[in-house]
A = this chain, B = another copy of it.
Amino acid sequence: MSGNSNAVRSAKASPSRAGLDRRAARRASTRQEIVDAAWQLAREHGLSGLSMRDLGDRVGMRAQSVYSYFASKDEIYDAMFREGYAAFVERMDDYDPAPGTDARTSLRLFAHRHFAFCTSDPVRFQLLFLRTIPGFEPSPESYAVAVRALASIQTTMARFGVTDPDASDLATAVFTGLTSQQIANDPGGDRWERLVDRAADMLLAEVAPHLHDARPESNEDEETR
C-alpha cells in the first residue's frame, strides 16, 4: 500500500513489485484453499486418513502439484495445527463479559466457550489437544503458537481474578476431559455437556475459594449460557 507505486509500470522482463505481491497473494490463497480442503477431508476420513491424492482431487489438481505448495504431508498438518490454535486463541480472547460480572459467571462462560470450540470440530480437537497422529510433531514456530495459547488462558483467567499458577493447567485438564468424554462416549448427546457449569464451579471453588463463596446472590443452581 505504501511507497514504490512508481515501480508499478516498470519493464515486463523482470516482474514488478506489484506483480510479485500479486503472485505471492495468489500463492497464499491457493495454500489456504489446500488447507481448507485438508480440514474437510480430515473430517470425512479421519485425521490420519488424509491423503495427498484425495487432497489434490478436492482442490482440482493432481496430487503431485500439491507439493509445489507444501513440501510434505506433515507440512500440511503443521499448517492445520497452527491455524487451529490461532482460531482457539481468537475464540478465547474475544470473550468479553459485561464489566463487573462475577468470577463464577465468567468462568462458566469461559468453560462453555471452551467446550463448544472443542466439540464443534472433533478432528481439530484431536489435532490440537490429543496429538495422536503417529509421525507428526509440530514445527517450533507452530508449537510456539500453542504455548502462547495456553498462556492466553492464564491471562484470561487472571482477568476475572483467578491467579493460581496451576489453575490454567487444572482448567485445561477439566475442560478437555469433558470434551473428550463427550466426543468418545456420547457423540451427539449431552451427557458431559450437562456437567460443564458444575465443573466450572468445582474448579473455581478449588482455585479461588474466596471468589467462589463471595458471589453476589445465590445462583447455585442456575445455568449460564
A148 to B: closest C-beta gap in Å: 13
Among A30-38, A57-65, A83-91, A195-203, the stretch that binds chain B is A195-203
Q: Is A45 an interface residue (CB 8 A)?
A: yes
0 or 1 for each of A101-127: is its CB under 8 Å from B? (1 = yes): 000000000000000000000000010
Inter-chain contact B180/A195, CB cutoff 8 Å: no
Chain A residues touching B, range: 35 or more
Mark the stretch among A1-9, A66-74, A92-100, A167-175 that contacts chain B.
Answer: A167-175
> In the complex, how many angstroms separate the beta carbon of A205 from the nearest chain B beta carbon?
6
For the complex, give the distance between the alpha carbons of A114 and B205 in Å.
23
Q: Does A177 contact B (CB under 8 A)?
A: yes
Q: How far is the CB of A91 from chain B (nearest CB, A)?
A: 19
Please give the count of copies of this chain that the complex contains. Answer: 2
Q: Is A10 an interface residue (CB 8 A)?
A: no
The residue on B at minimum CB distance from A205 is B205
Q: Is the CB of A47 within 8 A of B132?
A: yes
Residues of B contacting A206 in the complex (Cβ-Cβ under 8 angstroms): 198, 201-202, 205
Chain A contact residues: helix, strand, loop or mixed: helix
Chain B residue with Cβ nearest A177: B177
| Cα–Cα, bound, A35→B27 (Å) | 48
Mask of A32-50 contacts with B, CB within 8 angstroms, 1/0: 0000000000000111110
Q: Which residue of B lies closest to A133 (CB)?
A: B46
| In the complex, chain B residues whose CB is within 8 Å of the CB of A170 | 195, 198-199, 202
Closest 9 pairs between A and B when the two form their complex, measured CB to CB: A177-B177, A46-B134, A202-B206, A173-B177, A131-B184, A48-B48, A49-B134, A173-B178, A173-B181
Q: Can you pick out 9 interface pairs between chain A and chain B where the beta carbons lie within 8 Å of each other?
A: A46-B135, A48-B48, A126-B130, A129-B180, A169-B195, A173-B178, A173-B199, A177-B177, A202-B203
